[in-house]
Amino acid sequence: MAVYMIGQITINDRDAYAAYEGGFLDIFAQFKGKLLSVDESAEVLEGQWPCTRTVLLEFPSKEDALAWYKSDAYQALAQHRFAAADGNIIIVQGMS
């Protein structure tokens, strides 16, 4: 069953974040995910959405999503994101 990873990212340092962006697709392409959306102008219909970027990823399974997220290559790259931004990242199950 497909799973979706949703990221709410608040970018604090765009120059430093650029190092993360520059390496993201090369690593992501090695896994079974699909980049569905990267949006910096989400339309808020209810509540508050204080982040500057919203990311939506799709993976065939939770195992595939975690294999990417926990990989040594991604975790090394993610250090740039951790230094340049704050984020909330979740995995949600798709409908069968």
Q: In which band, very low, low, confident or very high, does the pLDDT at 8 lie, cut at 50, 70 and 90?
A: very high
The total of structural domains in the chain comes to 1
Closest CA to 42 of 86, 81, 6: 6
Instruction: Give the residue numbers spanning the domain of 60.
Output: 3-42+49-93
Place of tokens 């949703």: 6
For residue 56, the tally of other CB atoms under 10 A from its CB is 14
Question: Are the beta carbons of 12 and 84 closer than 8 angstroms?
Answer: yes
Q: pLDDT above 90 covers what percent of the chain?
A: 99
pTM of the full structure? 0.93
Task: Provide the CATH number for the domain around residue 74.
Answer: 3.30.70.100
* CA–CA gap between residue 23 and residue 33 (Å, rounded): 15
Question: Are the beta carbons of 38 and 25 closer than 8 angstroms?
Answer: no
